[in-house]
Amino acid sequence: MSHALKLWPLLTGSIRYEKTLSTRNRGHGEFIDAPILAYLIETPNGRILYDAGCDYRKVAEPTLCVRYFDPMRPQVEPPDMREGQRIPRYLAQPGLAPSDIDLVFIGHLHFDHVGGLGDLPGCEVHIQTDELAAACTGLDGSVFADELANAGQWRIKTGEYRVAPGVYAIASPGHTAGHMSLFIELPKHGPVILCGDAADLSENLSEEIAPGCCWQDNEVLALASIRKLKVLARREDAELWPNHDMDFFRSLPDFPAWRD
């Protein structure tokens, strides 16, 4: 069997921010509400999570919330995340526990993608060499240093690889130094590409607009990744899923429903 089995988008929270953060030089003064997503993927070899959402403590505990998120105002408001949106709460619905996750594939190390690892103790974590090195410089304000504390236990990967049957890691750097997207072959629906923050919005894809924030301001690299994902999608007849697009998210199956 060469394909994954099922794909569930998990809404782990939402966040309101100035649209220029998603679309470079576009959307000044305009605020959008974006979903913060993780994705559960069932494969013949086990279960994978793409991303982990935010650290719930930093949202729920007022002193932590002020410490971590006030510096981002006014461009970014603190995330909205409810107890029921923590990943273990989703897993519990079909009777699963974090120990039933075989691998957490982190697309990039921003707080809204990696913070939730604290809810997934003991899981194997994959991250790219370049991504971790850049995050450790302390130069990216969307990386929280405490969320890298367990990086010594992560599997450090370099370049593209087959993650599991029907699941492939696709390099899409630009937004961050070692950003990765995920190509997933589904049995009925056909392939899906989880863009991650290589493309926050459908607009990033349709109009080829770089993300507002690029590592070392490398807009050219971010645009090349958008074009690369589009070429891959055309060649493989795959659907591109932007990562922070509320309208697009609402078109997806509502958990516990899945795509297969």
Contacting residues toward Zn ion, per CB under 5 A: 112, 197
Nearest distance, CB of residue 110 and Zn ion, angstroms: 5
Nearest distance, CB of residue 8 and Zn ion, angstroms: 18
Nearest distance, CB of residue 237 and Zn ion, angstroms: 27
Select 112 or 131, whichever has its Cβ closest to Zn ion.
112
Nearest distance, CB of residue 175 and Zn ion, angstroms: 8
Nearest distance, CB of residue 111 and Zn ion, angstroms: 8
* DSSP per position, the chain: --S--EEEEEEEEEEEEEGGGTSTT--TT-EEEEEEEEEEEEETTEEEEE-----HHHHHSHHHHHHHHGGGTTTBPPPB--GGGSHHHHHHTTT--GGG--EEE-S--SHHHHGGGGGSTT--EEEEHHHHHHHTTT--TT--GGGGTTGGGSEEE-S-EEEETTEEEEE--SSSTT-EEEEEEETTTEEEEEEETT-SSHHHHHTT---S--GGG-HHHHHHHHHHHHHHHHHHTPEEEESS-HHHHHTSPPTT--B-
Select 132 or 143, whichever has its Cβ closest to Zn ion.
143
Nearest distance, CB of residue 251 and Zn ion, angstroms: 19
State both tokens at 244: 């922070």
Select 112 or 147, whichever has its Cβ closest to Zn ion.
112
3-state SS, residue 111:
helix
Select 131 or 197, whichever has its Cβ closest to Zn ion.
197
Select 118 or 166, whichever has its Cβ closest to Zn ion.
118
Select 112 or 185, whichever has its Cβ closest to Zn ion.
112
